[in-house]
Structures are given as structure tokens and as C-alpha cells.
Amino acid sequence: MTEDYDYDLFVIGAGSGGVRAARMAASRGKKVAIAEERYLGGTCVNVGCVPKKLFVYASQFPEQFYSSQGFGWSQESHPTFNWATLRDNKTSEIERLNDIYQSLIDNSGADLFDGRATVQDPNSVVVNGTSYSAKIILIATGGWPFIPEFPGSKYAISSNEMFFLDELPATAVVVGGGYIAVEFAGILNGLGVDTHLVYRGDKLLKSFDREMSQKIAAGMQEKGVKLLLNTQITSIENDADVFNVRTNHGNTVKSDLVLYATGRTANTSGLGLENTKIELRKDGSVPVDGNFCTAEPSIYALGDVIDRVQLTPVAIQEAMVLVDHLYGLGEAQIDYNNIPTAVFCQPELGTVGLSEEAAMKTYTDIAVYTSEFKPMLQTLGGGNDRITMKLVVDKASDRVVGCHMVGEHAAEIIQGMAIAIKAGATKADFDATVGIHPSAAEEFVTMREPSR
Ligand code: NDP
């Protein structure tokens, strides 16, 4: 017991941000509780980043089988794919990670409650019928897939269900133009599903560099995804277990599965926040100040539920900053600029800093360096993949303000580049760096002449 409260900190939600906050606060000697109604590790571990990446790996094997032939390999028989094996092996791996999360929480000394927690008042939480008082309550309940309502929307599934399908469909329609839509379109297509990607706008991944987005659209089509841009779904009808997916252009696509990847909204409904001064935004997210404090001084929130940047590493960093603010020196800061990110579509995107379009609005004069080439694997392996790289430079300071890549290993390469960008590297620093040969990444330090 601490002061007059059962807990110093009561965390609602054991996802990436919540668990990190609970463990760090406990390691500072605080009495901590964490409640989770669903699964330990949250979206990222259970129905997001981790299982998605495993599916991406699975979907890339056909290209690798194909490439291997030019290097002298031959397969005695045509490789076949078993969806149930992938799905169940993935689930076993996720269960292993759930256990690790359980141990991490147990070893930290925090109390874990298996149940839905609701806020009773600014200093108490009810879970499994018992009320606990807490000096600080942290809302870390994450987000949930959003599917718009329209005729037949009940037939659409979200990314949550994609990880547990009984069978891999023969045909699929994926709706949306963001991270999840392009990633799942690539996975399905790679696994041999006849895949349509339907997006209402004219540019996939609209918040990213336009040229990179165009390369991704072209690369996805090259690999077999049927892309329908500027297209809205008007209805879905169920016709003997095949869905007739009708578009605003009067077309009908027949499909075994319709995946809606149309964004994620804050997971705040039924949380009891009406018992506090907190007023949710229209989209359901929780407004917080620079220290993650809500309108209620004893309630904090972080991660996807505050709808700033919906990325696991951001939630984890927010948790560390918050714990330092509450129980440490209060010196830790989070900088939302230059957050590197990757989209595991195929071809893959890695990016940090400003897009060319954003840099043009921010700086008076920029130089843009680009390079496009064939990956070395394809010299013998065949295939039509390309790698595109771009550096955006503020001419006045010579600082590299944007770094983008589409192609193999983009995520791995951009993570390293992000340190340079974060440290304020100039184009001269890039030029003075010796390349690693032969690699694709060396191109980032050998681009001498601006393209524009
Ligand atoms: P996004 O916000 O990235 O994309 C949502 C897409 O759905 C947009 O293209 C949007 O169109 C479209 N859309 C929204 N409403 C409708 C509608 N009513 N009808 C048709 N289309 C609609 O969300 P995601 O669901 O893809 O992902 C959620 C978040 O999860 C991401 O923003 C990202 O932060 C995170 N994430 C990160 C990953 C990673 O790091 N690799 C992987 C997966 C998710 P429009 O553009 O026109 O608004």
C-alpha cells in the first residue's frame, strides 16, 4: 500500500506502451498494477507487427524459389504451400511471446489482472468486480480496426481476423491505401491469392513521398496485385459464399474474402471515462498534454489511444518518457520529428524525415538526389524488382532532411540512416562516408549529382 492508495500506478492495457510503463515504474520501486482483458503484448504482438512480418516472410518464398534457379538450384518438385502450417506455427510463436510478456510483468513485481478494467473515478479502477484505488491511472488501451458501415459491410473482415483464417482464400479484395492494406495485399498476392487492392484515392500511402508511393504501386502491380485506384466499394453481397463486391464505377469483383484496412480508432468505448473530466475527441482518442496528462490530473494516456503516431516503438518511447516524468528526473523527451518507419509492402518502403513535397514547403531551396537500380540478386536470379533511393537536402544548411528507399531490405537500411538524419548529418557527411561494397545501401553515400 502506498500513501492512501492501493497502487501508485494502475495501467489499463498490456500492449507495448502499457507493459513498458508498468515495468519501468515497478523497477523504480512503485507499486504497480496492469490490467489486460485480451492478450499480453497488445496489437503488435498478437494481431499486428509480429505475425504480419512472419506472413510477409512466408509470402516472399515463391520469388526466392524462382531466383534460386539462376544460381544453379533446382527443385525436384513444385513447392506447395500449406496455410494451416503457417497460421499454426505463427500462433505458437505468438504464444511463446505472450509467455515472455507474462514473465516480464511477473518479474517486474507489478500485479497483473486478467480482465477488463474500467475507470470508476479519477483515482479508482474496477476490474473483475473489485475496485482498486490508484494515485495515477494510465490509459494504454491502444486502437481497434475501423470498418465503415455500408450495405454488406458485415461481410468485410479486419486485419484481426486475417491471422486466424480457416482457409487461405483463392481470391481477395483488400480495401484501403494505408500501411495495413498494402502490407496485406502483398502477403495475399505472394501466397498465391488473386488479389485486388481497392483504394478511394489516387495515391497509395498518401502521407509518404509521392515518388516512393508511385514506385510501390508500380512494384505491387508488377508482382500481380490488381490495383483499383479512385474506387469506392458501394456494397458487398453474399452469393453462395462468394462475395460480389460492387464499386462506384459499376464494376463487380467476385471475391472469397473482403479485407477492410481502413484505419484504426482509439479503444476507449466502455472505459468509464465519462466518470472523469476527460472529453474524448470525435474519433474517440484521448487528448493529452506534452507530459501525456489528460484533462484529469491523475489520469495519463499514451500509445495508439492518444492517436499521435500509431507505431509500437513510439508507444514504448512515450512510456519511458512518462515514467521519467512521473518518477524520475523528468528530463526525458520524445521528439516526434524524424521518426523512421517502414511499410512491409512488396516492394518494401523505408523512410525517415521529410518527403520531397513536404521539404519543398518547409525549405526555400532543396536538392534531391535519386538512384534507381536493379538488385544484384536479380543479375542471375531474374525478376523485375527495382530499388529506388532518395535523399532530400536543405541547400542552405546542406542537411539531409529526408531519406527514402523502396526495395529489398529498406527497413533494415533506413534504421541506420535514421541515426544519421537524427544526428543532423549533412550531404557532405554522406559523401565522406565510405560505402560497403557490394551492397544496395552503399548507393546512399555515392549519389553525387542532384537529380533536381
Ligand atoms: P491508415 O490510416 O494507414 O490507412 C487507412 C486507409 O483507409 C487510408 O488509405 C484511408 O484513405 C482509407 N480509408 C479510411 N476510411 C475509409 C473509408 N470509409 N472508405 C474507404 N477507405 C477508407 O490505417 P491502417 O489501418 O492501414 O493502419 C493503422 C495504423 O497502424 C497506421 O497508420 C500505422 O500507424 C500503424 N501500422 C504500422 C505498420 C508498420 O509500422 N509497418 C503496419 C500496420 C499498421 P485516405 O488515405 O483517403 O484517408
Ligand 1 centroid to Cα of residue 181, in Å, is 7
Radius of gyration of the chain (CA): 24
Q: Is the dihedral of CA 105, 106, 111, 116 positive or negative?
A: positive
Please give the number of the atom of ligand 1 that sits closest to the Cα of 310: 34
Q: What is the mean pLDDT of the chain?
A: 97
Return the C-alpha torsion angle 350, 227, 176, 240, nearest 10.
-140
* Residues 413, 440 contacting (CB under 8 angstroms): yes
Ligand 1 centroid to Cα of residue 283, in Å, is 14
Distance (Å, rounded) from C-alpha 377 to C-alpha 347? 14
The response to whether residue 47 sits with its C-beta less than 6 Å from ligand 1 reads: no
Distance (Å, rounded) from C-alpha 242 to C-alpha 236? 10
Mean pLDDT of 407-427: 98
- State the pairing for strand pair 400-406/130-139: unpaired
Whether pLDDT at 193 is above 90: yes
Query: What is residue 372's three-state secondary structure?
Result: strand
User: Hey, what CATH topology would domain 153-262 get?
Assistant: FAD/NAD(P)-binding domain (3.50.50)
The response to whether residue 206 sits with its C-beta less than 6 Å from ligand 1 reads: yes
Ligand 1 centroid to Cα of residue 262, in Å, is 5
Ligand 1 centroid to Cα of residue 175, in Å, is 10
Please give the number of the atom of ligand 1 that sits closest to the Cα of 49: 42
* Residues 196, 279 contacting (CB under 8 angstroms): no
* Residues 351, 215 contacting (CB under 8 angstroms): no
Whether pLDDT at 377 is above 70: yes
The response to whether residue 375 sits with its C-beta less than 6 Å from ligand 1 reads: no
pLDDT over 70, % of the chain: 99
Name the amino acid, one letter, at 44: C
78 as an active site residue: the answer is no
Ligand 1 centroid to Cα of residue 219, in Å, is 20
Ligand 1 centroid to Cα of residue 204, in Å, is 10
Residue 212 sits at φ, ψ, to 5 deg, of -65, -40
Residue 19 sits at φ, ψ, to 5 deg, of -65, -45
Whether pLDDT at 2 is above 60: no
Please give the number of the atom of ligand 1 that sits closest to the Cα of 146: 25
Query: What is residue 168's three-state secondary structure?
Result: coil
* Greatest Cα-to-Cα distance within the chain, rounded to the nearest angstrom: 72
Instruction: Kindly report the pTM of this predicted structure.
Output: 0.97
User: Hey, what CATH topology would domain 341-445 get?
Assistant: Enolase-like; domain 1 (3.30.390)
What is the Cα 232 distance to its own chain's centre?
24
Neighbours of 283 (CB within 10 A): 12
Distance (Å, rounded) from C-alpha 256 to C-alpha 170? 7
Residue among 50, 179, 213 whose CB has most ligand 1 atoms within 8 A, to mutate? 179
- 316-329 pLDDT, tens per residue? 999 999 999 999 99
Q: Please report, for the chain, the start and end positions of each structural domain, with discontinuous segments joined by +.
A: 7-145+265-327, 153-262, 341-445
Mean pLDDT of 253-275: 97
Atom 4 of ligand 1: nearest residue by CA position = 178
Pick 7-145+265-327's CATH classification: 2.60.120.10, 3.30.70.20, 3.50.50.60, 3.20.10.10: 3.50.50.60
Residue 439 cell numbers, joined: 551492397
The response to whether residue 228 sits with its C-beta less than 6 Å from ligand 1 reads: no
* Residues 8, 136 contacting (CB under 8 angstroms): yes
- What is the structure's pLDDT at 241? 84
Mean pLDDT of 306-333: 97
What contacts 402, CB < 8 A, 6 or more positions away? 209, 351, 352, 353, 354, 355, 356, 358, 359, 390, 391, 392, 421
Domains 153-262 and 341-445 share a fold: no
- State the pairing for strand pair 242-247/252-255: antiparallel
Residue among 187, 262, 283, 351 whose CB has most ligand 1 atoms within 8 A, to mutate? 262
